[in-house]
Amino acid sequence: MTLFKIREIIIDAIPADLKAAIAGGIGLFIAFVGLSDAGIVAANKSTIVGWGDWSKPTTMLAIAGIIITLILFARNIPGALFIGLVLTAILGLITGLIPMPSEVMSTVPSLHPTFGAAFQGLDEAFTPQMWIVIATFLLVALFDTTGSLVGVAKAGNFMEGNTLPRAGKALMADSVGMLSGSILGTSPTTAFIESSTGIMMGARSGFASVVTGGLFLVALLFSPLLSVVTSAVTSPAMVVVGILMAANLANINWKDFPIAAASFLTVLGMPLAYSISDGISMGFVIYPILMVATGRRKEVHPIMYVLGLIFIAFIIIMQTN
C-alpha cells in the first residue's frame, strides 16, 4: 500500500478539519492513558470511569510529577518534559516508591524464541476466519499509524496547507519498521504518538529520532536501570503533551455542523473507545453521511466515501467477533 502511494492518497484526502480532530483527539487519548496508567482515573461501576485511589503512594507520586512538569513547562524551562521525568524518578527513588535497580547491566535477550515466528503455520493463514483477522489488523494498523503521523505532523507544524510534505518517505519508514518488527517477532514497530513528546521539545529534523534509536541500542545493555521509569514517571509527560496537542481543536470549524459533528465524534471516540482507529472510524462514517444529507456531496473527496464504507464494514466485523 505504501509502494503504490495508497496511504499517501488517503492522508491527502482527509479534510483539514478532520486532521485537526485526529491530532486533538490523540492528545486527549494519550493524556487519558497517562492518567489511567498512573491510577489517577480508574474504572468505576457507578459512573463507568472516575477518580482512582489517590491515597496510593505511586498515584501521589504521579500527581506530584504532573505538578512539577506543569510548573517547569509554564515557566518555559528548556527540556521541561525530560527534567520532569528525571525529578519524578528521583523523588520515587528517595521515597522508596520506586525500587532501586538490583543491577546496572545485563545480557541482551535472545531473538531465537520469536524470530521468524510469523511464518510458522502458514497453512492456517488461508482460512476465511484468518483473512478476517488479517483485514482487521490491517485496518487498525493502517489508521492507527495514519492518525499518529497526522497528529505528529500537526503538533510539529509540518503540514503545508492540507498536505503532509514528504509523506511517502515517512510512510515507507513506518512500513519497513512494521514489516521488520513482525519478522523479528515484536508488536508493530511503527509510528507512535509518543514521538510528539520530542517534537514539543523542539525536535524537527529527525536527528532526535536517530539519537533515540542509538540510545535504545545502548539501553539493551542497561535494561535493569529502565525499571525506574514506571507509569508514575511517564504519565506527567503524557498529560502535558496531551494539553499541547489539544490546541489543534481550535482549527476545527465548529460553526459548520457536519464538520463539527464528525470532528467531535472523532475526538470523543479515541479516549472512550481507547483506540485511535476506532475514534477515526466514527468520524469517517458520519462525515460523508452528513455531507450528503445536507446536499454537499461534491465537497467530499471520493476516497472519503470509500473509507466510510470500509469503516462501516470494519465496525460490523468488530462488533460481531
The residue type at 85: L
194 confidence band (pLDDT: 50, 70, 90) = low
Percent of the chain whose predicted confidence (pLDDT) is above 70: 99
What does the pLDDT look like over 212-261, one tens digit per residue?
A: 889 888 888 888 888 888 999 999 989 988 888 888 898 899 999 999 99
Question: Closest Cα to residue 68, out of 198, 196, 225, 235?
Answer: 235
Place of cell 499541547: 244
| Residues 6 or more apart in contact with residue 67 via CB below 8 angstroms | none
Q: Give me the residue spans of the domains in the chain.
A: 6-320
pTM of the model: 0.79
Lookup: cell for 68: 512539577
Lookup: cell for 28: 486527549
Q: Has residue 193 got a pLDDT over 70?
A: no
**Angstrom distance (rounded) from CA 34 to CA 234:** 7
Place of cell 493524556: 31
Cβ atoms 149, 11 nearer than 8 A: yes
Cβ atoms 131, 201 nearer than 8 A: no
User: Please, what is the Cα angle at 15 between 12 and 21, to 5 degrees?
Assistant: 115
Cβ atoms 228, 61 nearer than 8 A: no
Residues in the chain: 321
**Angstrom distance (rounded) from CA 319 to CA 145:** 22
